[in-house]
Structure 1
Amino acid sequence: MKLFRFDESVGRKIDKFGSKNIIITPIIKILERHIDIIQVSSMHMNPEGLIWGHEAPVPQLFIVVAGEGFISGRDKVRVPIQAGQVAFWESGEWHEVVTDKGMNAIVIESDQLMPEELLLKEVIQ
């Protein structure tokens, strides 16, 4: 057995797009012919954390495992999100994430994501 860490002490800061108080720790990346097939990361958003609005380069799942905050999509309307909920953004979709108190999430990025096939539908937007 091997044991690994993915907490914020082993991650790196993200300030791209004007983001703040964000630490990301890549967990796994699967490549095929040097092209990303899927990437899974842990995201630690400290209080007053912000992932500044930008377009998703590929479809993304944002799986909240602790804390709470707000997400927005192309309409730029902030919607609350908390532990146990998942946001999904299509490739090219503008999105933003913000938290006042802090939030931790697992982020999965892949052009092969189809969350509707397995997740119970609780459409937030």
Structure 2
Amino acid sequence: MKFYKMNAENAKRVTQYNSNFLMNSFMHLNCELRISVMTLKGNGKIGFHQTTTPQLLYLLEGEGVVCNEDKKYYSVQKGIAVFWDHGEWHETKSNQGLVALIIEGFNISEDSILLDTLSSEALHCSD
């Protein structure tokens, strides 16, 4: 058995794309899969940019809003997962703060996600 520690002291502060969040890289598998934990403090943001690979964001704590290239924002909270495909523009923001697990890799597709789907109409939308 081996133990690991993940906290703000060993997180990387990310400011690219006008972002303001902390990233703890969790696991990287031969450039095929990357798993990270993102922490957005109050008024934190993962700035508007294109994905470099398909990406799944799963909220572990807190709440915020997400959008894709249409800049229509949807409210998300703990327990919600959001998938963006390769090259899709997106942004994540939080007034109160959130913690999310991010899974990225070219082998990820909507078909590989085993969660129940949720229609965007079920999420509150703000422009």
**TM-score when scaled to structure 1?**
0.91
- Give the equivalent residue in structure 2 for 1:14: 14
- Give the equivalent residue in structure 2 for 1:100: 95
Aligned residues: 120
> How large is the RMSD of aligned CA atoms in angstroms?
1.2
How far, CA to CA, are the matches of 1:59 and 1:69 in structure 2? 21
Q: What is the SS of the residue equivalent to 1:17?
A: helix
- Give the equivalent residue in structure 2 for 1:110: 105
Cα distance change on mapping 1:3 and 1:115 into 2, 3 Å: farther
2:118 to 97, 118, 122: 122
Instruction: Give how far 1:6 is off.
Output: 1.9
**Residue 24 in structure 1 maps to residue 23 in structure 2:** yes
**TM-score when scaled to structure 2?**
0.90
How far, CA to CA, are the matches of 2:111 and 2:73 in structure 1? 22
- Give the equivalent residue in structure 1 for 2:124: none
Instruction: Give how far 1:5 is off.
Output: 1.5
Q: Which has the higher strand share?
A: 1
Indicate the percent of aligned positions where both proteins have the same amino acid: 26
Q: 1:29-77: per-residue Cα shift (whole Å, max 9, x none)?
A: 000xxxx100000111100001110000100000100000000012110
- Give the equivalent residue in structure 2 for 1:37: 32
Gaps of 5+ in 2: 122-127
